[in-house]
Every structure is written in structure tokens, then in C-alpha cells.
Amino acid sequence: MPDESVDVNNPRDERLRLVKSLSPKVVTLIEQESNTNTSAFVPRFLEALDYYSAMFESIDAILARDRKDRINVEQHCLARDIVNVIACEGTERVERHELFRKWRSRLTMAGFTQYPMSTYVNSVIRDLLKCYWEHYTLVEKDGAMLLGWKDRNLISASAWH
């Protein structure tokens, strides 16, 4: 969904205010921890290269290259995202990821308050990650859980009310 860099009406913030007006008990935000929204081409390209290199490396560590589910994810999810982030501009670029700190600012301005993350959920996820590979990381920072590969955060998860 475009933001103020594409549309002066800023549909992202409008939607957040609409969601807030519905008085939800909980809103969960799960987002790629990558800044491909408002960057000019070269910084966006470098960000995408760094992010997707880590993503592919993490997949490579746990799934054989000839596994059908891996091929499906790479072809139908990741490839489409990469092409859109790199090759499209303006309203044609629909993959517009923002870092958690930007979403935190947007949600706060829309009137949401952040819920603390559950230490139990955090420990369960940590135990699950141990079953896969030692290089997966889970960090709790600024009230969000950040899932990463080695030293690169890949996904942020947070809860709001």
C-alpha cells in the first residue's frame, strides 16, 4: 500500500486510523524488516540485495534446493517481491516494506498502544528455532520480536491495542 511518498492522501495512515476506529482488542503487525518503501533506486537495490541474500541463505541452510516447497516459495513469493522492489516505481511498486521503527511511529500516531510481547511465546519460538539452525536469531527489541539470520533481522512482529 502506498504512503505519502506516492499519494498525498497517505492511504497507509488512513487505513491505520480506520482500523483504530473499529476498536480492535489486538492488532498484530508482522513485517519484513527491510526498508524498500521510499528509498531511491540504488539504496533500495542495496537493501534488497542484503535482505534477500540473508533470506536465501537461511532457506538454503534448512531446505534442499530440489524440494518442491522451497522452489514454490522462491518462485511464487520471493522472486515476485524482488522483481517488484527492484524493477517498479511509483504506483507499480506494491512491495513497500518498512522497518519496525517506522511502523511503530505510524501506529502510535494512529492512536495505538503497544502490547508487551509474551515471554512464554518468545521462549517457545526460541526452542523451535534450535531445531532448525543455530544461526537463526530471535531478539526482543523496543517491544517487538525480531526474527533474523545471523546478524540480519528479517521479520518483526508486534502487537498493538
DSSP 25: S
pTM given for the model: 0.85
Give pLDDT tens digits for 54-88. 999 999 998 899 999 999 999 998 999 999 999 99
pLDDT at 81: 94
DSSP line for 79-136: HHHHHHHHH--GGG-------HHHHHHHHHHTT--EEPPPHHHHHHHHHHHHTT-TTE
b/e burial code for range 33-72 (CB count within 10 A of at least 16 → b): bbbbbebeeeebeebbeebbebbeebbeeeeeeeeeeeee
CB atoms within 10 A of CB 16: 22
pLDDT digit string, tens, across residues 112-158: 999 988 888 888 888 888 887 789 999 999 999 999 999 999 999 99
pLDDT value at 1 more than 80: no
6, pLDDT greater than 70: no
